[in-house]
């Protein structure tokens, strides 16, 4: 039995969207977002786990305090967007590489896109609208550090 391997130099048309070579830009995105994610993820872990009393300081008030500062709102939002798009695009590559059935691959890629989009939208909303002490909430439902109105 013999197997014919396609000539790697044979012409291959890469998918283009509006003149853009999306596979090339997806490849570049993985490298660039990877470098930025190293800074964002290790900065996130260092601040949450190494500074102050470390892991013992993490509670509702700690998160509320961080998200009252636009710096951490943007830090976490950029980390969320970069990591979700990076993870979803990486999974898309794995689906392209390993899933043989075109219909199954399509369903998986639609599911990947939808779950990434939903998590990005919800996460961004939470980071920018989180209010640890909502005005008018019943006193027994808000955190102990909130001024009871
Ligand atoms: C420290 C931060 C990170 C760095 C430096 C990094 C770097 C990379 C690079 C360079 C690739 C491309 C590999 C290739 O094309 O052969 C990649 C692929 C991938 N990354 Fe990341 N990444 C990071 C964080 C993440 C996170 C947080 C996720 C999940 C949300 C993730 C999920 C993936 C997946 C699923 C792939 C595809 C793997 C494959 O093609 O076999 N990565 N990563």
CATH code at position 114: 1.20.1300.10
In eight-state DSSP terms, residue 17 is E
Structure tokens of 57? 């300081």
Decide if 9 is inside a domain: no
Chain centroid to CA 58: how far?
21
Q: How far is the CA of 90 from the centre of ligand 1 (A)?
A: 6
pLDDT of residue 19: 84
Q: What is the pTM of this model?
A: 0.86
pLDDT confidence bin for 13, thresholds 50/70/90: low
Whether 16 is in a domain gets the answer no
Cβ of residue 38 lying under 6 Å from some atom of ligand 1: yes
Question: Is 2 within a domain?
Answer: no
User: Are residues 143 and 61 in contact, defined by beta-carbon separation less than 8 angstroms?
Assistant: yes
Containing 20, the helix (H) or strand (E) segment is strand 20-21
| CB of 61 closer than 6 angstroms to any ligand 1 atom | no
In this prediction, residue 139 carries a pLDDT of 82
| Measured distance CA(50)–CA(7) in Å, rounded | 53
Q: What is the mean pLDDT of residues 66-91?
A: 97
Q: Which domain holds residue 45?
A: 22-129
For residue 118, being part of any structural domain is answered with yes
In a domain? residue 145: no
- Whether ligand 1 lies within 6 angstroms of the CB of 30 is answered as yes
Q: Which atom of ligand 1 is nearest to the CA of 97?
A: 40
What pLDDT is recorded for position 91? 97
What integer is the mean pLDDT of 16-41?
94
Atom 19 of ligand 1, nearest CA residue: 90
Residue 15 lies inside a defined structural domain of this protein: no
What would the pLDDT profile of 115-135 be if each residue is shown by its tens digit? 999 999 999 999 999 988 888
**52 alpha carbon to ligand 1 midpoint, in Å?**
30
Residue 144 lies in a domain: no
> How remote is the CA of residue 79 from the centroid of ligand 1, in Å?
14
Give 86 Cα–ligand 1 centroid separation in angstroms.
7
Give domain status of residue 143, yes or no.
no
The residue nearest atom 18 of ligand 1, judged by CA position, is 90
Total domains in the chain come to 1
CA distance 103 to 106: 5
Q: In this predicted structure, what is the pLDDT of residue 10? A: 61
Structure tokens at 17: 């969207």
């Amino acid at each position: 039995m013999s197997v014919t391997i396609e000539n790697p130099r044979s012409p291959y048309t890469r998918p283009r969207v509006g003149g853009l070579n999306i596979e090339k830009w997806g490849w570049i995105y993985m490298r660039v977002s990877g470098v930025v994610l190293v800074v964002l993820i290790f900065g996130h872990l260092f601040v949450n786990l190494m500074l102050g009393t470390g892991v013992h300081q993490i509670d509702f008030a700690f998160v509320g305090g961080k998200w009252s500062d636009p710096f951490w709102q943007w830090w976490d939002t950029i980390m969320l967007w970069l990591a979700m798009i990076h993870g979803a695009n990486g999974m898309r590559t794995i689906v392209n590489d390993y899933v043989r059935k075109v219909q199954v691959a399509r369903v998986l890629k639609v599911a990947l896109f939808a779950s990434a989009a939903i998590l990005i939208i919800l996460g961004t909303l939470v980071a920018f609208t989180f209010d640890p002490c909502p005005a008018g909430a019943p006193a027994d439902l808000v955190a102990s550090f909130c001024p009871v109105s």
